[in-house]
Amino acid sequence: MRHFLTSLALLGLFAFPTLAFAQDLALKRVMLSSGGMGYFEYEATVDGDATLKLTVSLPQVDDVLKSLVVYDDKGGVGGLSLPGREPLAQAFKDLPFDQESLGSPSQLLATLKGAQVTVGGSRSVSGRIVSVQEETVALGSDKGTTTRTRVTLFTDRGLQQFILEDAENLQFADAALRDKVGQALIAIQGNRAKDARTIELSTRGAGKRTVRVAYIVEAPVWKASYRLTLGADPTAARSALQGWATIENLSGQDWKDVELTLVSGRPVAFRQALYDAYYVTRPEVPVEVAGRLVPNVDRGGVATSQPKASTMPAMPAPSPYRPQQERTMAPAGAPPPPPPPVAAAADQIEATDAATQVIFKFPRAVSVDNGRTLSIPIIDRQVPALRMALYQADTAARNPLAAIRLTNDGESGLPPGLITIYERDKTGNVSYVGDARLSAFPIGETRLLAYALDEKIIIERDVAQADRLATGTISQGALKLSRIVRQTTTYRVRGPAKEPRQLVVVQRRLAGWTLTKPDAKGIDISEGNYRISFALPGGDQTQTFEVVQEQTQQQELRLVDGSPDQIRVYAQAREFDAKTREALTKVLQLQQAVAEAQRKVTQVDAERQQIVQEQARLRENLARVPANSDLQRRYLATLDKQETQLEVLAGRRSDAEKSVEGARDALRTYVAQIG
């Protein structure tokens, strides 16, 4: 049995490469993006046609299949291949046994009943497997029991049995079956790296050359952070800024002397399951028999004209970019800046501004073991930094925030990140004063960095709103007027007791409104807010500032149907010209004429209603009095008189309605002709 197990194990020791993360390719370059992607580039020296092997983790296979690129100036790419997503399941798909059958020799023999085997040892026998049974045998001298496997073979001499554990060797007579067992064992060994796949890449070419292979996969986002050290002089124009990059190597392999580049940007990145197998669902059709045809009759077609291929002139190749190193600058005429408050970066990083991103390339090779974190400086220079107070009512209603106006006058943008702010006193000691957040910082732009509460300044804020008439004109039967709505925000500011301060007030910008005070020239707009600067002299003084925004609102009043009370107000409005006021006064008079005529109609209707009610009372009484009585005759006489009155009222009402319509016609005619 020992020899049998050894022979099975040896089957898995040939034709299978030893797994390594990069077997034939050496990692040379790593580029990490703040968008969460990493570029990994490998190199290998080949001679003629070659097959390169690269092992990547299973979650990375989709990205590798999507992005893998080969650079070979003297050759070409033949293609790549790799095991399927479930290679072990595929390996056993067409075998006469499953993976569990290889758990023990007895399981394999039981699965392969009927197979021809040859058993060697003290008793050689050949035949086909009939059965495999385990039996318990007692050991002598009360040593317990043991389990043995009894195999029954069908031979030329009938059924013969042997004990599997006593056999020195066992061989399958069918060479094809032996090969299948060997292939299965090789597949099991290869599947030990369950979370990795080995990609075989073929290259075609002549001679010795260097081949580069690169791909893009998901990687931890690298982070930028900054340190800004303010000098002892609060009026100093520049301060020392140092930026650091923090990266993690979670790629599964060590980075040994690689060329490291960091990219800050927001690239569009997609993921697609290219490593999954997809099948198209096909409709099922019935089996056709003679005489039944499914396809439709072809009735001919029209030839489609093919458009001519258009050609475009090739774009000229861009000139090579020569990155410039960061340099420290000082204002003209100013003394040289003091020594930097922190140690300068040992190596100068090359910072390059691209169309949509900023690239930081490290001048020396970098080594980072898998699973470790590295933090290295990327920026170290003096930058324009002006101290000020920043008032944001939503953040702190009573006090402004201490802030820095930072300007990027360098040769590249800066990625977003936190800034830790230090301050150096006159004795040279440094203290921590706060943190701030820096957004993406392109060249030439300015950022306000708030880092602490400035309790030396107190602000009271009031908001009031009013509106007034501006203009009014009559056109097409309507009074079209403009109203100016004004919102005034008043700031009462008590400045610091000693030093002066520049105050920047963040005022919400009302959509559709215009800033009328102070002058909008030179005022910044940021994310829907005005940023308005005011100078605060020292000496504990209180000043008042007003920020006024106005909006012109248009209204329209139809004069024919307008309320007399409204028209009376507008007729007296001094904001309107005399002609408009006179026209409105005339409209008001005509409206009064309409109202007077309508009043007469109403008066007639009231009289008629009174008579109708009286008639109803008389008719009710008539039903109760004796016939031909004096009272009955009296009621009938009254009813007759009232009918005569109703006829007179009907005539009066008709005349009154004509008067109303005439007054309205006069109003409409006048309104139509003015303006």
413 & 493 share domain: no
What pLDDT is stored for residue 312 in this prediction? Answer: 38
Mean pLDDT of the chain: 82
User: Could you say which of 453, 488, 514 is where a domain stops?
Assistant: 453
What pLDDT is stored for residue 171 in this prediction? Answer: 87
- CA proximity to 71, closest of 37, 34, 39: 39
105-110 contacts, C-beta under 8 A, 24 or more apart: 105/1, 105/4, 105/5, 105/8, 105/149, 105/164, 105/170, 106/132, 106/134, 106/149, 106/164, 108/181, 109/151, 109/164
- Asked whether the predicted pLDDT for residue 314 surpasses 70, the reply is no
Per DSSP bridges, beta strands 350-353 and 357-361 are: antiparallel
Q: Which band of pLDDT confidence, cut at 50, 70 and 90, is reported for residue 289?
A: low
Q: Which band of pLDDT confidence, cut at 50, 70 and 90, is reported for residue 458?
A: very high
What pLDDT is stored for residue 192 in this prediction? Answer: 59
Q: How far apart are CA 643 and CA 18, in angstroms?
A: 123
Q: What mean pLDDT do residues 574-587 have? A: 89
Q: Which band of pLDDT confidence, cut at 50, 70 and 90, is reported for residue 165?
A: confident
- Asked whether the predicted pLDDT for residue 191 surpasses 80, the reply is no
Residue 152 resides in a domain: no
- Asked whether the predicted pLDDT for residue 318 surpasses 70, the reply is no
Cα maximum dimension of the chain: 157
- Asked whether the predicted pLDDT for residue 367 surpasses 90, the reply is yes
What pLDDT is stored for residue 54 in this prediction? Answer: 87
Residue 602 resides in a domain: yes
Per DSSP bridges, beta strands 542-558 and 238-248 are: unpaired
Residue 288 resides in a domain: no
Percent of the chain at pLDDT exceeding 90: 32
Q: How far apart are CA 570 and CA 558, in angstroms?
A: 13
DSSP H stretches of helix in 527-627: 564-571, 578-622
Q: How far apart are CA 608 and CA 637, in angstroms?
A: 18
Residues in a beta bridge with 552: 484
Percent of the chain at pLDDT exceeding 70: 84
Q: What mean pLDDT do residues 597-603 have? A: 91
462 & 352 share domain: no
201 & 236 share domain: no
Residue 483 resides in a domain: yes
Q: What mean pLDDT do residues 49-63 have? A: 87
419 & 568 share domain: no
What pLDDT is stored for residue 189 in this prediction? Answer: 67
Q: Which band of pLDDT confidence, cut at 50, 70 and 90, is reported for residue 18?
A: very low
Per DSSP bridges, beta strands 26-33 and 255-265 are: parallel
588 & 445 share domain: no
Q: Which band of pLDDT confidence, cut at 50, 70 and 90, is reported for residue 675?
A: low
- Asked whether the predicted pLDDT for residue 256 surpasses 50, the reply is yes
347 & 228 share domain: yes
What pLDDT is stored for residue 288 in this prediction? Answer: 56
Q: Which band of pLDDT confidence, cut at 50, 70 and 90, is reported for residue 342?
A: low
Residue 321 resides in a domain: no
Count: domains in the chain: 4
Prior bond to 518 cis, omega within 30? yes
408 & 491 share domain: no
- Asked whether the predicted pLDDT for residue 162 surpasses 90, the reply is no
Range with top average pLDDT, 210-224, 325-339, 627-641: 210-224
Least confident stretch, 43-57, 182-196, 531-545: 182-196
- Asked whether the predicted pLDDT for residue 472 surpasses 50, the reply is yes
Residue position matching structure tokens 């569009």: 268
Please give the structure tokens belonging to residue 180: 């299948």
What pLDDT is stored for residue 309 in this prediction? Answer: 39
What pLDDT is stored for residue 90 in this prediction? Answer: 61
Residue 44 resides in a domain: no
85 & 187 share domain: yes
Q: Which domain holds residue 198?
A: 2-20+57-115+174-218
Q: How far apart are CA 164 and CA 354, in angstroms?
A: 73
Range with top average pLDDT, 29-33, 158-162, 265-269, 495-499: 29-33
User: Could you say which of 430, 453, 476 is where a domain stops?
Assistant: 453
What pLDDT is stored for residue 87 in this prediction? Answer: 59
What pLDDT is stored for residue 85 in this prediction? Answer: 60
Amino acid residing at 585: T
DSSP H stretches of helix in 327-428: none
User: Do 582 and 573 form a contact (C-beta atoms < 8 A)?
Assistant: no
What pLDDT is stored for residue 107 in this prediction? Answer: 84
Q: What mean pLDDT do residues 386-400 have? A: 92
Tens of pLDDT, residue by residue over 509-558, are: 999 999 999 988 888 888 889 999 999 987 888 999 999 999 999 999 99
583 & 444 share domain: no
Q: How far apart are CA 469 and CA 570, in angstroms?
A: 9
Least confident stretch, 333-342, 559-568, 619-628: 333-342
Least confident stretch, 190-204, 563-577, 608-622: 190-204
Tens of pLDDT, residue by residue over 137-157, are: 888 777 778 888 888 988 988
Residue 528 resides in a domain: yes
User: Could you say which of 508, 539, 558 is where a domain stops?
Assistant: 558
210 & 238 share domain: no
- Asked whether the predicted pLDDT for residue 293 surpasses 70, the reply is no
Tens of pLDDT, residue by residue over 479-519, are: 999 999 999 999 999 988 888 889 999 999 999 999 999 98
391 & 481 share domain: no
266 & 359 share domain: yes
Cα three-residue angle 399-404-408, rounded to 5 degrees: 155
- Asked whether the predicted pLDDT for residue 125 surpasses 80, the reply is yes
Cα three-residue angle 138-110-192, rounded to 5 degrees: 105
Please give the structure tokens belonging to residue 629: 């009585």
Q: How far apart are CA 463 and CA 490, in angstroms?
A: 6
| Backbone CA torsion sign across 386, 388, 393, 395 | positive
Task: Supply φ then ψ for residue 188, to 5 degrees.
Answer: -65, -45
What pLDDT is stored for residue 229 in this prediction? Answer: 94
Q: How far apart are CA 14 and CA 515, in angstroms?
A: 83
Q: How far apart are CA 352 and CA 349, in angstroms?
A: 10
Q: Which band of pLDDT confidence, cut at 50, 70 and 90, is reported for residue 172?
A: confident
What pLDDT is stored for residue 193 in this prediction? Answer: 55
Question: What would the DSSP string read from start to end of 77-112?
Answer: EEEEE---SSHHHHHTTTSSS-GGGGGSHHHHHHHT
Per DSSP bridges, beta strands 373-391 and 514-517 are: unpaired
What pLDDT is stored for residue 30 in this prediction? Answer: 95
Q: How far apart are CA 566 and CA 529, in angstroms?
A: 38
What pLDDT is stored for residue 88 in this prediction? Answer: 60
Q: How far apart are CA 449 and CA 421, in angstroms?
A: 10
- Asked whether the predicted pLDDT for residue 190 surpasses 70, the reply is no
- Asked whether the predicted pLDDT for residue 251 surpasses 60, the reply is yes
What pLDDT is stored for residue 297 in this prediction? Answer: 35
Claim: this prediction has a pTM higher than 0.85: no
Residue 41 resides in a domain: no
> Residues 6 or more apart from 36 whose CB is under 8 A from it?
218, 219, 220, 221, 269
What pLDDT is stored for residue 180 in this prediction? Answer: 81
What pLDDT is stored for residue 98 in this prediction? Answer: 76
